[in-house]
A and B are shown apart, each in its own frame.
Chain A
């Protein structure tokens, strides 16, 4: 019998388990696959504040950013507080970017055209300027998830965090109107609370509990280059179009590549955004667009080779906000999913807030915008 059962061993589930264990709860994490086998293992590792419109998601991002910096002290995974550089093609866009940065009210430095090369010596010429966000960072999400799970088990006494991998949740156990556990491919697991941290598959898990959660997959491709001998790119670099794409409702293909180097020496280029269901088929035109945008930012990449690509499915809700908190429709059920392309960045704050809710504390941020039943109300 656990205090909390977390369904999903991705980075969000790992963070929920870590903070719950740290709060003194007895946690069992269940995943049908390995650690970080879903969307966590197919993203870029973005920890961004720069791409968020002012509002509740930005508040999450700012707090999460601070928490990531604390967690990085655990060691065991790469965390690079490298900063993000958003560049503008035209003077008009540069002005809009600067205005947005002011409204965001996060640390930033406006950069004029000639000064861009001080930040990125290999950046193409001709950009009107941009904004530098020192808080933007990069994390290796798979190792981070594994580390959080391990530390959750190690640091707070044995038995507070159990990991059940290769175990599929097949249903929920109820006692009266309350959730008291889950049925799995490997027997029943009992617990006072169940946290749905199943990411892109969060809607399916919710359906097993009999509640509706409109979470859909958004496909993203990422290109990875050969390792470079000398680092070519210092920060996360992207064009202003990225910010508008993040908030877009278009089902069609959008690409506005974030380009950055990694400690392994490779350059990551991605991700594209498409709503095409769970289709893994590689689209060469999408890869070509990513390559074109990367070369437009950094002409020296023209002769650099892409050696692989991968795709993942980001979980998104109709209003592009995550679902975090208790489900009023079913006592004992909690959700921590639907983070779209920001799940890595927002994992710590999600785990932190949920642990506060689970232990009866008042959460540091208002969870109303992220309430699980907000979609049903809109529909009726």
Chain B
């Protein structure tokens, strides 16, 4: 099948719950939709699943949505979006990369509207030894298990802060790992009165709690892994008791082969900041994309749903995706009416029905309450030694960060310019939060015009008129 270069009514970036819900809602309303995702299967982080999916809460429904979407839209898997830009004619170009046996290929999608549903990634904090193999993010351990059925290790310590430690630990324990403990750096009242229970996710939390109890996994608060030890891999960790600001009260060394750590999440908002979307500070001070009641950003034609609009979990993400999809469909209809009549762009975006809006408020309040219950406290900076790497890519130790500050680097960007943290492969996604804390400022909006590495060959190919984007190339279909 070949067609002239199409302009999609909507391109959705991200194949998790928000993206799929948004894309499906818009496709069902008759819009020409493409959904782009890096992965080889839909799901995002929460609904990540193996080629032969195992039952998981909500997964069957999600997979049904994914099948319905694939029948009505172009689902472009294995496509990394590295840039979205505004064209002189007002349309948007979504610049993707896809891997081919002959090399990387650039794919340009034209879109009238964009939905940013790019999710979030774990927020790690540096500590001595955190770059040893065997130290993974909690999400990384989850991804191995959900996506490949692989256990991250045999003797595992789970540490960090936030409710996500519970499913990560429960998943590992249920799959046969010996989970030595869940070490929650913040306080609280223990598992029996975990905020997840108090805030009404009783069923879900009870499930994790029961799993941890069944496998005799202790859940201990005001404790954290503050160092990992080993030669080529993790062989042991230092576990510390912490005060309320996370200063170390006492510590002991425990043998283990794997550590799963997570200190909350970093929403992936760089496609929004590329387009100039206004941001706001989330509960924890991190920048997220500012959206209105219809999930519309400050930039015309651009919506955001899920974690990029504020961390709140998959239920909120899916709901926001649906709300965005409805609003996008209404915008599409308004444009079509405007083609015939002159009252262009006077209408408001379709606000969500009250029942959706109320439910969204509930989930947002829930997400905000969790963020407030599990803040990052400054005491972690005392866990670092001079030689502890802050930036893993450029191998920048704490001492070099401090030296840059002494030389006049008064903010995180200047620290980066003088000492190179965040200049490497990951562009500060992993160390950015820590560097901001060390520089004494809240995390700033990411500036990542090249959001994914792109070969110079693929980039250079964009100087020539492109062959039409043909997601349905014979034998080239990456979907499912």
Decide if A and B touch, CB cutoff 8 A.
Answer: yes
A288 touches B427 (CB 8 A): no
A305 touches B454 (CB 8 A): yes
Given contacts A36-B414, A149-B408, A150-B407, contact A301 B462 (CB under 8 A): no
**With A and B bound together, what is the CA distance between A373 and B109 in angstroms?**
52
A41 touches B414 (CB 8 A): yes
Output the nearest chain B residue to A283 by Cβ-Cβ distance.
B85
Query: Which residue of the partner chain, among B409, B413, B456, contacts A306 with CB atoms under 8 Å?
Result: B456
* B-side contacts of A9, CB under 8 Å: 408
Q: Is B45 among interface residues, defined by CB-CB distance under 8 A? A: no
Q: Report which residue of B276, B418, B425, B448 has the largest number of chain A beta carbons within 10 angstroms of its beta carbon.
A: B418
Q: Is A1 among interface residues, defined by CB-CB distance under 8 A? A: no
B459 touches A308 (CB 8 A): no
Q: Is B251 among interface residues, defined by CB-CB distance under 8 A? A: no
A282 touches B85 (CB 8 A): yes
Q: Is A252 among interface residues, defined by CB-CB distance under 8 A? A: no
A147 CB to closest chain B CB (Å) equals 8
B427 touches A307 (CB 8 A): yes
Q: Is B274 among interface residues, defined by CB-CB distance under 8 A? A: yes
Output the nearest chain B residue to A142 by Cβ-Cβ distance.
B417
* A-side contacts of B413, CB under 8 Å: 34, 37, 41
B450 touches A287 (CB 8 A): yes
* A-side contacts of B404, CB under 8 Å: 146
Q: Is A303 among interface residues, defined by CB-CB distance under 8 A? A: yes
A149 touches B457 (CB 8 A): no
* B-side contacts of A358, CB under 8 Å: none
B456 touches A225 (CB 8 A): yes
Q: Mark B404-426, 1 if CB is under 8 A from A, else 0.
A: 10011111011001101001110
Query: Which residue of the partner chain, among A35, A149, A285, A308, contacts B414 with CB atoms under 8 Å?
Result: A35
A34 touches B410 (CB 8 A): yes
B460 touches A295 (CB 8 A): yes
**With A and B bound together, what is the CA distance between A33 and B414 in angstroms?**
9
Q: Is B93 among interface residues, defined by CB-CB distance under 8 A? A: yes
Query: Which residue of the partner chain, among A149, A227, A284, A301, contacts B456 with CB atoms under 8 Å?
Result: A301
* B-side contacts of A225, CB under 8 Å: 456
* B-side contacts of A282, CB under 8 Å: 83, 85, 274, 449
A11 CB to closest chain B CB (Å) equals 12
A142 touches B463 (CB 8 A): no
* Size range of the chain A interface in the assembly: 35 or more
B410 touches A166 (CB 8 A): yes
Given contacts A34-B413, A264-B423, A284-B93, contact A307 B407 (CB under 8 A): no
A227 touches B424 (CB 8 A): yes
Q: Report which residue of A37, A269, A304, A305 has the largest number of chain B beta carbons within 10 angstroms of its beta carbon.
A: A305
* A-side contacts of B103, CB under 8 Å: 303
Given contacts A292-B460, A295-B460, A302-B455, contact A146 B418 (CB under 8 A): yes
Given contacts A227-B424, A303-B103, contact A36 B418 (CB under 8 A): yes
B453 touches A35 (CB 8 A): no
Output the nearest chain A residue to B422 by Cβ-Cβ distance.
A308
Interface residues of B in 439-469 (CB under 8 A from A): 447-450, 453-457, 459-463
Q: Is B95 among interface residues, defined by CB-CB distance under 8 A? A: yes
Query: Which residue of the partner chain, among A163, A223, A264, contacts B420 with CB atoms under 8 Å?
Result: A264
Q: Is B122 among interface residues, defined by CB-CB distance under 8 A? A: no
* B-side contacts of A285, CB under 8 Å: 462-463
* B-side contacts of A305, CB under 8 Å: 453-456
**With A and B bound together, what is the CA distance between A250 and B120 in angstroms?**
43
Query: Which residue of the partner chain, among A41, A227, A288, contacts B459 with CB atoms under 8 Å?
Result: A288
Query: Which residue of the partner chain, among B394, B417, B455, contacts A303 with CB atoms under 8 Å?
Result: B455
* B-side contacts of A283, CB under 8 Å: 85
Given contacts A285-B463, A304-B455, A305-B453, contact A34 B423 (CB under 8 A): no
A44 CB to closest chain B CB (Å) equals 13
A226 touches B425 (CB 8 A): yes
**With A and B bound together, what is the CA distance between A226 and B411 in angstroms?**
25
B408 touches A288 (CB 8 A): no
Q: Mark A74-114, 1 if CB is under 8 A from B, else 0.
A: 00000000000000000000000000000000000000000
Q: Mark B332-365, 1 if CB is under 8 A from A, else 0.
A: 0000000000000000000000000000000000
* B-side contacts of A175, CB under 8 Å: none
**With A and B bound together, what is the CA distance between A146 and B447 in angstroms?**
23
**With A and B bound together, what is the CA distance between A37 and B408 in angstroms?**
10
Output the nearest chain A residue to B86 by Cβ-Cβ distance.
A281
B456 touches A302 (CB 8 A): yes
Q: Is A289 among interface residues, defined by CB-CB distance under 8 A? A: yes
**With A and B bound together, what is the CA distance between A281 and B447 in angstroms?**
10
**With A and B bound together, what is the CA distance between A231 and B413 in angstroms?**
27
A146 touches B407 (CB 8 A): yes
Q: Mark B223-260, 1 if CB is under 8 A from A, else 0.
A: 00000000000000000000000000000000000000
Output the nearest chain B residue to A292 by Cβ-Cβ distance.
B460
* A-side contacts of B414, CB under 8 Å: 33-37, 41, 142
**With A and B bound together, what is the CA distance between A305 and B459 in angstroms?**
9
* B-side contacts of A308, CB under 8 Å: 423, 427, 448-450
* A-side contacts of B276, CB under 8 Å: 281
Interface residues of B in 194-220 (CB under 8 A from A): none
A143 touches B460 (CB 8 A): no
**With A and B bound together, what is the CA distance between A163 and B407 in angstroms?**
10
Output the nearest chain A residue to B404 by Cβ-Cβ distance.
A146
B450 touches A307 (CB 8 A): yes
A370 CB to closest chain B CB (Å) equals 28
* B-side contacts of A356, CB under 8 Å: none
Interface residues of A in 136-175 (CB under 8 A from B): 142-143, 146-147, 149-150, 163, 165-166
12 chain-A/chain-B pairs, Cβ below 8 angstroms: A34-B413, A35-B410, A35-B414, A163-B408, A284-B83, A284-B85, A295-B457, A303-B457, A304-B456, A306-B455, A307-B425, A308-B449
Query: Residues of A with Cβ closer than 8 Å to B?
Result: 9, 33-37, 41, 142-143, 146-147, 149-150, 163, 165-166, 223-227, 264, 269, 281-285, 287-289, 291-292, 294-295, 301-310
- Given A301-B456, A307-B453, output 12 extra A-B contacts at Cβ < 8 Å: A9-B408, A36-B417, A36-B418, A41-B414, A41-B417, A146-B404, A150-B407, A165-B410, A282-B449, A288-B462, A302-B460, A307-B424
